[in-house]
Structure 1
Amino acid sequence: MSEETILELKDLSIQFIGKQVLNQINVKIKRGEIIGYIGPNGAGKSTTVKIILGLLSDYKGDVIVFGENIRDHPVDYKRRIGYVPENGEIYDDLTATEYIHFIGQMYGMGLEQIEQKFTALLDKFELKAVRHARIATFSKGMKQKLLIIASLIHDPDLIFFDEPLAGLDANSVMIIKEMMDQLAKAGKTIFYSSHIMDVVEKISDRILLLNQGEVMADGSFMELKAKNKEGTLEQIFNQLTGFDQHEQTATDIVRIIQGADQHE
């Protein structure tokens, strides 16, 4: 892993309608790291990514990407970034080919280069038969594969994957996990956000746990495990975020479903 800093957040803070969503986040990310970025819903994960991508500008602090402050260079750095959002909007009326041609050209790629890469990737993602079909006819898993292709077609250096395995079959999940590992070894930096803790635990070089807008933990899984009483990442997550009611809540739900309370 390189010592080169690819991304740095300095005292990053933001408020929405008086609520502090991020509170002075300070993080340095190196080239070739796979960062597991986790936290409860509303912790500020998506907000952080949107700021880095330049989708939110009303923040305090600094975001340094590829050595440049994005306030000073708000466009050029985006050509080196790939992004798969959790609920990715996609142009359903386009065919797969039209969509990828559009995305590739936005990143400054020539049509010949796009077509060469796209044809090869379609084969590997088992989408070759639907390259000219409307995206509206695709299953969730097929759309997810297309979003992953779109995020990687331009060979980005910094990649944000927000729940990238959603809708994928078991074989595709294994391929994507292995692909992320190989991309990192090739010097790509990956932000991986997911609620599937065992996947985050296995693939991440480093885990950032965000809660109520603050970094509660930062380190490898083994480092986090050494500092906390619990053993799995899911247990550490629950411990650090103060959530210890899952057993009782599940029991209550089962009782309600079974109508147990009505017979007491």
Structure 2
Amino acid sequence: MIKIESLKKFFATKIAVDDLNLEVPNGVVYGFLGPNGAGKTTTIKMIVGMLRQDQGKIEIDGVDTLYDPIEAKKKFAYVPDNPDIYDNMTARQYINFIADVFKLSLEKRNENIKKYAEIFEMEENLDATISALSHGMKQKIVLIGALIHEPKLLILDEPMVGLDAKSSFRLKNIMREFAERGGTVFFSTHVMEVAEKMCDEIAIINKGKLIAKGTLEEIRASAKDSGSLEKIFLELTE
């Protein structure tokens, strides 16, 4: 679903992402891990088209993101690490705006708004102005907007940040069910326990370089410490 070849990104003299090669197959929950400043968000922003790579190639479902960005964007939904959305809209207006962009029918959008508003317990807040919502509620609205048009690929940057325990649990269930239906979830997280329990495959990046990838068993086999993912992560990044 995602294919990255020889990806590089520079900020002045700093190399933020250094010769990254990665393939994310269909039907998996794929964790993208790394310490602060490792290059996770920069990589994700290049995948979704918010940053232009300096070198390398990114394909989503066979579509080159640089040369056919509109077609590539049709295939995924993106949830950033900070839910900065249109403060003057209501939550319902924002979700309908996303549905309009993806040309979702009125019947299907209403069905999905009802479904996900119930899952995230946002029914009573759909007509509230976004500026009046808490950070966690804004995060839920962004998630509903991402899920409403039923994309092939979900790209999530720290999606559990700001969510309460119940909403985090329900989001994890949604991610697993999404992959089981043949979709792909690519997400970054700092929470090793979540990655260990959720992910079919994992990639670890540090100082812009990919330092490990594969299933947890494969990464564990190549590490000196064969314990928890947290211990392996600390070994590899320190």
Q: Deviations over 1:9-47 (max 9, x none)?
A: 111112110211111111111101111101111111111
Question: Is 1:78 matched up with 2:56?
Answer: no
Report if aligned partners of 2:83, 2:135 keep a CA contact under 8 Å in 1. no
153-162 or 65-74: which moved more? 65-74
Distance across 1 between alignment mates of 2:142 and 2:183:
18
The structure whose RCO (Cα within 8 Å, separation 6+) is larger is: 2
Paired residue for 2:159? 164
Paired residue for 2:110? 115
SS at match of 1:143: helix
Paired residue for 1:217? 212
The Cα shift of 1:173 comes to: 1.6
Report if aligned partners of 2:64, 2:72 keep a CA contact under 8 Å in 1. no
Paired residue for 2:231? 235
Paired residue for 2:135? 140
Q: Deviations over 1:85-135 (max 9, x none)?
A: 111211122111111111111222234432232123212221111211112
Structure 1 residues not aligned, in runs of 5+: 1-5, 243-264
Question: Is 1:151 matched up with 2:146?
Answer: yes
How much is the aligned-residue C-alpha RMSD, in angstroms? 1.4
Distance across 2 between alignment mates of 1:196 and 1:58:
27
Question: Is 1:68 matched up with 2:63?
Answer: yes
Report if aligned partners of 2:91, 2:127 keep a CA contact under 8 Å in 1. yes
Q: Percent of aligned pairs with the same residue?
A: 38
SS at match of 1:172: helix
Distance across 1 between alignment mates of 2:182 and 2:170:
19
207-216 or 55-64: which moved more? 55-64
User: TM-score, normalising length from structure 1?
Assistant: 0.86
213-222 or 135-144: which moved more? 135-144
Distance across 1 between alignment mates of 2:61 and 2:140:
27
Q: 2:8 aligns with which of 13, 23, 29?
A: 13
Report if aligned partners of 2:8, 2:53 keep a CA contact under 8 Å in 1. no
Paired residue for 1:54? 49
Question: Residue type matched to 1:237 in 2?
Answer: F
Distance across 1 between alignment mates of 2:19 and 2:194:
28
Q: 2:203 aligns with which of 204, 208, 214?
A: 208
The Cα shift of 1:229 comes to: 2.5
Q: 1:193 aligns with which of 188, 194, 197?
A: 188
Structure 2 residues not aligned, in runs of 5+: none
SS at match of 1:57: coil
Distance across 1 between alignment mates of 2:191 and 2:23:
24
Distance across 1 between alignment mates of 2:86 and 2:195:
30
Distance across 2 between alignment mates of 1:189 and 1:167:
23
